[in-house]
Amino acid sequence: MWLSTVWFLVRKDLLLEWREKNAISAIAMYVLCTCFVVYQVFVSVEPKAWIALYWIVALFAAINAAARAFVQEQGHTKLYYYQLVGPQVMILSKVLFNSALMLLLSLLTTAVFALLLGFPHQGLGMWFTISALGGLGLGISFTMIAAIASKATNSGVLMAILGLPVVIPQLLVLVQVSSKALLVLPFSVIYKDLIGLLAIDAVALAVALVFFPFIWRD
Amino acid sequence: MAAALLLVYTVVVGLMGPIPQREILYETIRNLYFHVPMWFAMIFLFIASMVHAVRYLYTSKPEFDTWSVEFANIGLLFGFLGITTGMIWAQFTWGAWWSFDPKQNGAAITLLLYLAYMVLRNSIGDPKTKGRVSAVYNVFAFFAMVPLIFILPRLTESLHPGAEGNPGFNSYDLDGDMRRVFYPAVLGWAMLAVWMVQLRVRLKMVKEHLYENSI
């Protein structure tokens, strides 16, 4: 029952997105443009810089994607949802939707980066695991930040101000684990960092689930 | 009062008292009595701020919101003092104001987090929404700060003590003479900080009271 409501809301968001394609096309354009600027400026990059640039592009793509999370849930529509579903259901569905969006974006960014700047990683599976976990974490944190920022008047600026310091720990771990994956270290060395990444994601999700109700209530 | 006594003790004995002689450090080791307690005080204040934010969320009493903000305000002040004393000291011992050190970076990001909290508060008009939303951000910021200050620096190489697994100082770094000053110093600075918070909260309450009487 509870989960089916979440699934229903996610499907609704996906369907709306599929019909209008405004978020995904805007962010895809953003990714393409940034990748091309990076390519024009650097032409070819070292593996270490590749990782740094990748996460910077992913970070701002996440900010842009999540900024739209609560645009539809304002005014009357919000009241409607407020009566129908609980806050936990709402935040969970938004987190899932944004994470799905982030997964898609990380695939796209990886593809464009690989095309223009080359692909320094040895194992494809390892890189996709890391970028998926990173996308998930960024999706969770920025969904919550978007909920907070949607309450303020200048929410566009606030998204970046509030979000960047919050996700820096995640990004540091991500860059670290990506660099380790680059060196083709054995899995036993890398999996500790992956666990750390999962732990950060779990804490962010737990805080979001416990404290989102206070934001949802008006 | 007790805080003042402890701080007088810290300053007098801290500047005059015996210290272990170390290469490079020499007399600058006395900065331990000022730089490190600033961070202790900041952490205490941010914990208190987070606790009051949660209490505000569950009770909706405005005074908890006031406490939460003022703890964060003074925490920021002590954070800035900590980073300044650290930078001055680093210039003389490590040779640079800022060397890419995980604890320095973590501390700077922590200050950014709480500055963002202040910006958020300024951009919401309605006091109830402001209190609730910023309290949620406060909790979020706190949980982002914990890995920054306590976990990440220990995983990477650092110029600070406590890197690569062993937390804090060991008996080699801190002898008995220094301990006798260091612990009172931590207590003194923390008490001073809490006293400053109390003053600010009282001032705010008096102001609100006067405002209510005037209308």
User: ipTM for the complex?
Assistant: 0.79
Residue B143 with chain A: CB contacts under 8 Å: 203-204, 207
- In residues, how long is chain A? 218
In this predicted model, what pLDDT tens digit does every residue of B74-125 receive, in sequence order? 999 988 988 888 888 877 777 777 777 777 888 888 899 999 999 888 888 8
**Secondary structure, 3-state, chain B:** CHHHHHHHHHHHHHHHCCCCCCCCCHHHHHHHHHHHHHHHHHHHHHHHHHHHHHHHHHHCCHHHHHHHHHHHHHHHHHHHHHHHHHHHHHHHHCCCCCCCCHHHHHHHHHHHHHHHHHHHHHCCCCHHHHHHHHHHHHHHHHHHHHHHHHHHHHHCCCCCCCCCCCCCCCCCCCCHHHHHHHHHHHHHHHHHHHHHHHHHHHHHHHHHHHHHHHC
Judged by CB atoms closer than 8 Å, whether chains meet at A148 and B124 is answered as no
Residue B124 with chain A: CB contacts under 8 Å: 151-153
Distance from CA of A166 to the nearest CA of B (A): 6
- Put simply, whether B123 touches A (Cβ < 8 Å) is yes
Among candidates B119, B133, B148 on the partner chain, residue whose Cβ is nearest the Cβ of A151: B133
> Between vectors from CA A135 to CA A132 and to CA A140, what angle results, nearest 5°?
125
Residue A169 with chain B: CB contacts under 8 Å: 109, 144, 147-148, 152
Indicate the burial class of B39 (C-beta count within 10 angstroms; 0-12, 13-18, 19 or more).
Answer: buried
Judged by CB atoms closer than 8 Å, whether chains meet at A215 and B136 is answered as yes
- Put simply, whether B116 touches A (Cβ < 8 Å) is yes
Cβ count near B71 (within 10 Å): 26
pLDDT score, position B188: 79
Among candidates B113, B119, B156 on the partner chain, residue whose Cβ is nearest the Cβ of A166: B113
On the CB side of B199, how many CA atoms lie within 13 Å of its CA? 8
Distance from CA of B165 to the nearest CA of A (A): 15
Judged by CB atoms closer than 8 Å, whether chains meet at A151 and B124 is answered as yes
What is the arithmetic mean of pLDDT over B161-166?
Answer: 48
pLDDT score, position B167: 44
Determine the residue among B133, B142, B149 to mutate to test chain A binding: the one whose Cβ has the most chain A Cβ atoms within 10 Å. B133
pLDDT score, position A163: 87
Say which residues have a Cβ less than 8 Å from residue A108's Cβ, sequence separation at least 6: A28, A31
Among candidates B57, B110, B123 on the partner chain, residue whose Cβ is nearest the Cβ of A214: B57
Judged by CB atoms closer than 8 Å, whether chains meet at A148 and B120 is answered as yes
- Where do the domains of chain A lie? 2-216
Among candidates A152, A168, A211 on the partner chain, residue whose Cβ is nearest the Cβ of B136: A211
| Closest chain B residue to A164, measured at CA | B113
Check whether B129 has a pLDDT greater than 80: yes
Among candidates B120, B136, B155 on the partner chain, residue whose Cβ is nearest the Cβ of A214: B136
Among candidates B116, B125, B143 on the partner chain, residue whose Cβ is nearest the Cβ of A165: B116
Judged by CB atoms closer than 8 Å, whether chains meet at A166 and B132 is answered as no
pLDDT in tens, chain A (218 residues): 678 888 888 888 888 888 887 778 888 888 889 888 888 888 778 888 888 888 888 888 888 888 877 777 777 777 787 777 888 888 888 888 888 888 888 888 888 888 888 777 777 788 888 888 888 888 888 888 888 888 887 777 888 888 888 888 888 888 888 888 777 667 777 777 788 888 888 888 888 888 888 888 76
- In residues, how long is chain B? 215
Confidence label for B159 from pLDDT (cuts 50, 70 and 90): low
Residue A158 with chain B: CB contacts under 8 Å: 119-120, 123
Determine the residue among A95, A210, A215 to mutate to test chain B binding: the one whose Cβ has the most chain B Cβ atoms within 10 Å. A215
pLDDT score, position A167: 87
Distance from CA of A164 to the nearest CA of B (A): 9
Judged by CB atoms closer than 8 Å, whether chains meet at A152 and B124 is answered as yes
DSSP A44: S
Report which of A117, A120, A130, A124 is spatially closest to residue A35, judged by C-alpha positions: A117
- Put simply, whether A107 touches B (Cβ < 8 Å) is no
Check whether B171 has a pLDDT greater than 50: no
Check whether B163 has a pLDDT greater than 50: no
In this predicted model, what pLDDT tens digit does every residue of B21-78 receive, in sequence order? 555 555 566 677 778 888 888 888 999 999 999 999 898 888 898 899 999 999 999 8
A4-18, A39-53, B2-16, B197-211 — which is least confidently predicted?
B2-16
pLDDT score, position B175: 63
